């Protein structure tokens, strides 16, 4: 079998949404390195020019035009190294399924020697989970299109296209492709890394050609793109694994089968005078390592891309605020994190000591603000208006909202962003206070169940012991009334999180959850709490997506909902 070697460079880089000029410079910097390496094909992620997902920016003609202008500039810059660049192309929508004509496509441009040599349009547009591509883009109608480098044919596809069993990749191989390049902006969740790889390995074995899976890296609002690009040979063996949650520019030589050269081939394979060093694959991160890295990257990029320098965190002495502050320090550095303890008469001395100990371990600025006098004034004012004793929930929420107000006032004064500390278990059942502990610009632990908060805290302490052991060991409590503990209002977290996972991630019915052996009264009570607290969750700040169904863009339930669950 006659073969030729193509040198491929994968640009697993961060491309912020809307930063077209910055993204252009990143692309140019990668081209400069690739030229030095005598690369044949330099690959960039899906929508690298615009960032992903650009959402309703795609409805602005000026945005689309800027993307075109920059692509032309990049094409003019190109020389022997060709580039595969994700961008937004024009498209004649001849097969629309509703009244809205969509005149743009999610596309990949192939540039070389000063010109755009070819364009591929994404054929399968995801319209589930966090994806809304069918809202904006028209489908590509040439899935089997090939791009010839002399007598070697390359098939290019975009993200979802590779997930279709008899989709573009199969058609491209049937048409003569010796290599499939799949460019992605695939967001992280804790189960996706393995499923991606299994899918691509299966495709490579079936198609008997190598596949390059290139992913974006970086945080964008609720999404974190985890990189983890890889290259699989025609037998399904992973021959290179890139880093996760880090930018990387990797170079690899791949031997590809030569086919009959078509007439009018315009892409070139360059002569090479150098050899590449042997590539060393990166280790795959464990579950806890990847969860922690996702939280770090998501917070770092949200803070920096939204032009903040510092963050404020209310430190209660509890496990949630401890993990939040620790991640913040690891992401942003100690000098950029401010911890604020706001004790009332119900807070134990032990909790304040735990908060102080955490702040000392993390080497962060620490403020203590006593709130009891403010809360008493608030109580007296309300009581004077309503002429009756305050209810327990009202009194508890006053304390939480005073704390929220103090944090937001400090945010206004210092310019630091408040990071709220609530976890997914609490938000699911409404064990949280609007405009109180839910106040903030970013809800870091929004998609992390309470049991996972404990797991990650213990994991982080294996690296360096910063979270006080007493914070981990003590009974969790909101400390808003005497002798209050979470277990007084909720099932034990192991049981609660099992119910929540079945209901939220797996969309299980109450009957199915009860059939697992859980008491039906507990199940009905938990599900009722989840259903009636949708209005709270809709008002929570964005947070890092970690599961297959995060609150926010991922899980979209109506607030006003009169559906009644039937009970036996």
**With 0-12 CB in 10 A as exposed, 13-18 as middle and 19+ as buried, what is 34?**
buried
The answer to the question of whether 9 is labelled as a binding residue is no
CB-based contacts of 153, cutoff 8 Å, min separation 6: 146, 147, 172, 175, 176, 177, 178, 179, 259
The answer to the question of whether 128 is labelled as a binding residue is yes
d(CA 419, CA 323): 12
Neighbouring CB atoms inside 10 A of 182's CB total 28
The answer to the question of whether 318 is labelled as a binding residue is yes
The answer to the question of whether 536 is labelled as a binding residue is yes
The answer to the question of whether 237 is labelled as a binding residue is no
Closest CA relative to residue 228, chosen from 285, 165, 149: 285
The answer to the question of whether 397 is labelled as a binding residue is yes
The answer to the question of whether 320 is labelled as a binding residue is yes
The answer to the question of whether 129 is labelled as a binding residue is no
Q: What is the dihedral of CA 516, 522, 523, 526, to 10 degrees?
A: -140
Sign of the CA dihedral with 37 first, then 43, 44, and 45 last: negative
The tally of CA atoms less than 13 A away on the side-chain side of residue 288 is 13
Whether 159 is catalytic: yes
d(CA 435, CA 438): 6
The answer to the question of whether 186 is labelled as a binding residue is yes
The answer to the question of whether 319 is labelled as a binding residue is yes
Q: Which of the 8 DSSP states describes residue 186?
A: -
Strand order in the sheet with 82-90: 115-121, 104-112, 82-90, 41-43, 3-12, 248-257
CB-based contacts of 86, cutoff 8 Å, min separation 6: 44, 45, 46, 47, 48, 49, 52, 106, 107, 108, 158, 183, 185
The answer to the question of whether 316 is labelled as a binding residue is yes
d(CA 513, CA 504): 11
Whether 122 is catalytic: yes
Question: Which pair of structure tokens corresponds to residue 57?
Answer: 């920016």
**Contact predicate 102/139, CB 8 Å:** no
Active-site residue, selected from the candidate residues 117, 159, 296, 424: 159
The answer to the question of whether 184 is labelled as a binding residue is no
Active-site residue, selected from the candidate residues 24, 122, 305, 446: 122
Largest CA-CA distance found in the chain, in angstroms, rounded: 92
Active-site residue, selected from the candidate residues 24, 30, 38, 46: 46
Q: Which residues contribute to the annotated binding site?
A: 128, 186, 192, 314-321, 397, 421, 426, 536
Catalytic residue annotation: 46, 122, 159
Known binding-site positions for ATP: 314-321, 421
Residues of the binding site for deamido-NAD(+): 397, 426, 536
Annotated binding residues for L-glutamine = 128, 186, 192
């Amino acid at each position: 079998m006659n073969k030729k070697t193509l040198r491929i460079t994968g640009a697993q880089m961060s491309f912020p949404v809307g930063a077209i000029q910055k993204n252009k410079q990143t692309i140019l910097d990668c081209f400069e390195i690739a030229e030095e390496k005598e690369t044949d094909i330099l690959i960039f992620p899906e929508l690298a020019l615009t960032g992903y997902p650009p959402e309703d920016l795609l409805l602005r003609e000026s945005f689309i035009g800027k993307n075109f202008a920059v692509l032309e500039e990049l094409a003019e810059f190109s020389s022997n190294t060709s580039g595969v660049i994700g961008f937004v192309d024009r498209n004649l929508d001849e097969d629309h399924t509703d009244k809205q004509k969509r005149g743009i496509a999610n596309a990949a441009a192939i540039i070389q020697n000063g010109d755009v040599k070819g364009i591929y349009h994404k054929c399968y547009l995801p319209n589930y989970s966090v994806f809304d591509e069918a809202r904006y883009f028209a489908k590509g109608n040439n899935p089997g299109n090939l791009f010839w480098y002399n007598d070697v044919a390359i098939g290019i596809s975009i993200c979802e296209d590779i997930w279709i069993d008899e989709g573009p990749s199969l058609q491209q191989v049937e048409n003569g492709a010796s290599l499939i390049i799949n460019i992605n902006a695939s967001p992280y969740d804790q189960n996706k890394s393995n499923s991606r790889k299994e899918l691509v390995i299966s495709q490579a074995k079936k198609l008997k050609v190598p596949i390059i899976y290139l992913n974006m890296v970086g945080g964008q609002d609720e999404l974190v793109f985890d990189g983890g690009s890889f290259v699989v040979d025609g037998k399904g063996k992973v021959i290179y694994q890139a880093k996760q949650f880090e930018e990387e520019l990797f170079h690899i030589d791949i031997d590809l089968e030569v086919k009959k050269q078509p007439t009018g081939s315009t892409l070139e394979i360059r002569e090479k005078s150098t050899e590449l060093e042997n590539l060393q694959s990166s280790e795959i991160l464990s579950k806890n390592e990847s969860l922690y890295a996702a939280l770090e990257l998501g917070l770092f990029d949200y803070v920096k891309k939204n032009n903040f320098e510092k963050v404020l965190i209310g430190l209660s002495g509890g496990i949630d605020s401890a993990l939040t502050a620790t991640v913040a320090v690891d992401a942003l550095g100690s000098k950029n994190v401010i911890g604020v303890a706001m004790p009332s008469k119900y807070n134990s001395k032990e909790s304040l000591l735990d908060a102080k100990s955490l702040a000392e371990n993390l080497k962060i600025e620490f403020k203590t603000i006593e709130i009891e006098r403010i809360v008493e004034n608030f109580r007296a004012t309300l009581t004077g208006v309503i002429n009756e004793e305050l209810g327990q929930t009202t009194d508890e929420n006053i304390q939480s909202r005073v704390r929220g107000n103090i944090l937001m006032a400090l945010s206004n004064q210092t310019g630091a962003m408040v990071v709220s500390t609530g976890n997914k278990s609490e938000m699911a059942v409404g064990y949280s206070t609007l405009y109180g502990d839910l106040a903030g610009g970013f809800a870091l632990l929004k998609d992390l169940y309470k049991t996972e908060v404990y797991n990650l805290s213990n994991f982080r302490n294996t690296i360096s012991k910063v979270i006080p052991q007493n914070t981990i060991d003590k009974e969790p409590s909101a400390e808003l009334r005497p002798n209050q503990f979470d277990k007084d209002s909720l099932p034990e977290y192991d049981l609660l999180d099992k119910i929540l996972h079945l209901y939220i991630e797996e969309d299980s019915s109450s009957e199915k959850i009860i059939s697992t052996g859980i008491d039906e009264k507990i199940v009905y009570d938990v599900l009722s709490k989840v259903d009636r607290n949708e209005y709270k969750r809709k008002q929570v700040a964005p947070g890092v997506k970690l599961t297959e169904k995060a609150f926010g863009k991922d899980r979209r339930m109506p607030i006003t909902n009169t559906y009644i669950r039937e009970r036996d």
